[in-house]
Amino acid sequence: MQLLTLARDLKRRKARERRSQFVAEGVRTVEELLRSPLKVRGALQTLALAESPRGQALLYELARRSIECGVVSEKEFVSAADTDHPQGILAIADVPERSLAALTLADTTRILVLDAIQDPGNAGTLVRSAAALGVSAVVALPGTADLWNAKAVRSGVGAHFRLPALHASLDEFTVFLNEKRLVLWGTDADGEPVDSLQAPRRLAIAVGNEGAGLSEGIRKLSAKIAGLPMAGQVESLNVSVAAGIMLWAVRA
């Protein structure tokens, strides 16, 4: 089956980049995908999906839109799925065309920058947090997990489908900062307490690699290094948790 072969192929980052397509897996993720403006190319299901009312509703919506939905065995589905316990539905959709040059920013804006965030689950959760806290866009720099990895998409719970989230080189991002008159703040556990800082109207906040922190390139570009004051013996937080607090503190 062509859809099954395609879904298996899209487990690889190179295939996703070459085809400009991705896989959305799980009932809730596919529901969110169908609510979004993204183009859905097809879906795969197992017979078990139709055993629940929610699964039946999803199948009805796919049929109503004339989206091809192939029925495969549990074994075949697992070969294309990213999770150990898939929910019997995945959809294939086009990655939206997004670029730094195409971003339109308000006078007061916030951008979240992912500086070599390696775990796709963290990357997806960061996109979701950004969307929840009114961020205008998420920019993923080199070394960051593919934002369209199935785990990242699942962790984003639909945020990828609406919020501009895109990859860019450090050079492209540097030009973007200058052209859009954005101030960049890096983040670090030893940085200046964020609650003591006055956020500029146009601000980009960079969060660094889970183990190594910010790259040297981003440190050099940063006007300030902001941090979260913590009580007790806790030295650091998960990057997704820390970023959420930081974004709340500087919300426009």
Quick one: pLDDT at residue 57?
96
Quick one: pLDDT at residue 202?
97
For tokens 């795969």, name the residue.
44
- Integer Cα distance of 3 and 23 in angstroms: 11
Quick one: pLDDT at residue 189?
86
Under 8 Å between Cβ of 26 and 89 = yes
Q: What is the pLDDT of residues 209-225, one digit of tens each?
A: 988 899 999 999 999 99
Q: What is the pLDDT of residues 172-208, one digit of tens each?
A: 999 999 999 999 999 998 899 999 999 999 999 999 9
Residue 75, number of CB atoms within 10 A of its CB: 8
| Residue 235 pLDDT level (bands cut at 50, 70, 90) | low
Query: What is the CA 179 to chain-centroid distance, rounded?
Result: 24
Residues 6+ apart with CB under 8 A from 185: 197, 203, 204, 205, 206, 222, 223, 224, 225, 226, 250
| Residue 234 pLDDT level (bands cut at 50, 70, 90) | low
Q: What is the pLDDT of residues 67-109, one digit of tens each?
A: 999 999 999 999 999 887 779 999 999 999 999 999 999 999 9
Looking at every residue in the chain, the average pLDDT score rounds to 94
Under 8 Å between Cβ of 150 and 89 = no
**Mean pLDDT of the region 16-43:** 97
**Under DSSP, is residue 213 helix (H, G, I), strand (E, B) or coil?**
strand
pTM of structure: 0.94
Helical segments of the chain, H only: 2-9, 13-19, 27-35, 53-64, 74-80, 120-132, 150-156, 170-179, 216-221, 239-249
Q: What is the pLDDT of residues 149-171, one digit of tens each?
A: 999 999 999 999 999 999 999 99
**Under DSSP, is residue 8 helix (H, G, I), strand (E, B) or coil?**
helix
Quick one: pLDDT at residue 70?
95
Q: What is the DSSP string of 27-86?
A: HHHHHHHHHSSSPEEEEEE-GGGGGSHHHHHHHHHHHHTT--EEE--HHHHHHH-SSSS-
Quick one: pLDDT at residue 162?
94
Q: Does residue 233 surpass a pLDDT of 70? A: no
Percent helix, strand and coil across the chain, each to the nearest 5: 40, 25, 35
Strands 109-115 and 202-208: parallel
Quick one: pLDDT at residue 193?
93
- Integer Cα distance of 163 and 208 in angstroms: 21
